[in-house]
Amino acid sequence: MEYRELDGLVLKCVGGFYTVETPQGLYTVTARGRFRKEGVSPYAGDRVRISVTEADRTGALVAIGPRKNGLVRPPLANLDRLFVVCAARDPVPVPLLIDKAVAAAELSGIEPVVVFTKADLSGRSVGPLLEGYRLAGLACCLTSSVTGEGVEEIRGLLRGRVSAFMGNSGVGKSTLLNALFPELGLKTGEVSQKLGRGRHTTREVELYKLAGGGYVADTPGFSTFDLARYRLTDKEQLIHGFREMAPLGGDCQFSSCSHTCEKGCAVLQAVRQGQVARSRHESYVQMYQEIKDVKQWQQKKGNV
């Protein structure tokens, strides 16, 4: 049987099988055993080399190219943008969850975009949150899959990029993607009225090729956000996950300032003066308190 090597892009990873897009079409391959021994897992978004046979379009993944960035949960590599999706209502937005996802993107070198869905239900109620993110210099959109509000803006931000939609369950990630690209036909679910949160409809991560150029991934929803899984375990680096606060750190009275409660803190002064949204700083403080006692070995474990 004759094999040949091809370069390609991993679109989907399911049960040890990888769907790889190449100039010669799609191939389904498995990873060589050495990746497991080396503790390396191929992610959707990885640029790879595969050894395949044309007979059944299968083969083996033999090399993974350098990653410019990566997320452990969801397992994605080489992203340009991470769309952090939350709902204006049903379920109500939780600023801490949004800010954890934004910080994970910032610290991974991925451009975050904050998206509020379901604007037709109660879009104006999230005005203060929107303004807080815009004040931080973050791209922020208000959308409705029912009225079409904001859909073209999102489509423009996706064009020509490798992106992912991420957010807690029930916020309408798949519904928004279907409004953007009806040909995807993604499964959608309803919010449980009893639990106040959505049901998971996306089970795995898959990159979808967009007709206008670029790729986008829908990702499984979540109801909690484990900081260790997103490499948010270093209290000294946390401030760099908040782009509007990071430049202020050098102006604090004390070099050991945690930017949570200290006298002479430039970040706290900026909050009082309305230069930093209070909700953003509250998220920072909650995250700092959550990770301040994480030991060094736990930090390393979270960064695997």
Separation CA 90–CA 268 (nearest Å)? 32
Residue 294 in 3-state DSSP?
Answer: coil
Tens of pLDDT, residues 105-140: 999 999 999 999 988 886 567 889 999 999 999 999
Separation CA 20–CA 114 (nearest Å)? 29
Separation CA 178–CA 167 (nearest Å)? 16
Q: Does domain 71-218 have CATH number 1.10.3210.10?
A: no
Separation CA 210–CA 162 (nearest Å)? 10
Q: What is the per-residue pLDDT for 20?
A: 96
Percentage helix, strand, coil for the chain under 3-state DSSP, each rounded to 5: 30, 25, 40
Assess contact for 139 and 110: CB atoms under 8 A: no
Q: What is the per-residue pLDDT for 145?
A: 87
Q: What is the per-residue pLDDT for 231?
A: 66
Separation CA 235–CA 183 (nearest Å)? 43
Q: What is the per-residue pLDDT for 238?
A: 94
Residue at token pair 């309408």: 172
A 10 A CB-CB count for 269 gives 14
Q: What is the per-residue pLDDT for 197?
A: 41
Residue numbers of the chain with a pLDDT score lower than 70: 1, 122-124, 186-203, 221-231, 294-304
What the block records as the tokens of 68 is: 């410019």
For the entire predicted model, the pTM comes to 0.87
DSSP H helical ranges for 110-169: 119-122, 127-135, 151-158
Q: What is the per-residue pLDDT for 57?
A: 83
What the block records as the tokens of 99 is: 């800010």
What is the second-level CATH architecture of the domain 4-66? Answer: Beta Barrel (2.40)
What the block records as the tokens of 40 is: 């390396």
The structural domains of the chain, with segments of one domain joined by +, span 4-66, 71-218, 230-302
DSSP H helical ranges for 136-206: 151-158, 173-180
Residue at token pair 């239900």: 121
DSSP 221-283: -BS---GGGGT---TTTGGGGSTTTGGGGGGSSSTT--SSS-TT-HHHHHHHTTSS-HHHHHH
Q: What is the per-residue pLDDT for 193?
A: 36
Q: Which helix (H) or strand (E) holds 298?
A: helix 296-302
Q: What is the per-residue pLDDT for 230?
A: 61
Nearest to 99 by CA among 264, 300, 239, 253: 239
What is the average pLDDT score of the chain? 86
Nearest to 12 by CA among 45, 34, 38: 45
Residue at token pair 């991974």: 108
Tens of pLDDT, residues 67-89: 999 988 788 999 999 999 999 88
Question: Is residue 215 exposed (0-12), middle (13-18) or buried (19+ Cβ within 10 Å)?
Answer: buried
What is the second-level CATH architecture of the domain 230-302? Answer: Orthogonal Bundle (1.10)
Q: What is the per-residue pLDDT for 200?
A: 40
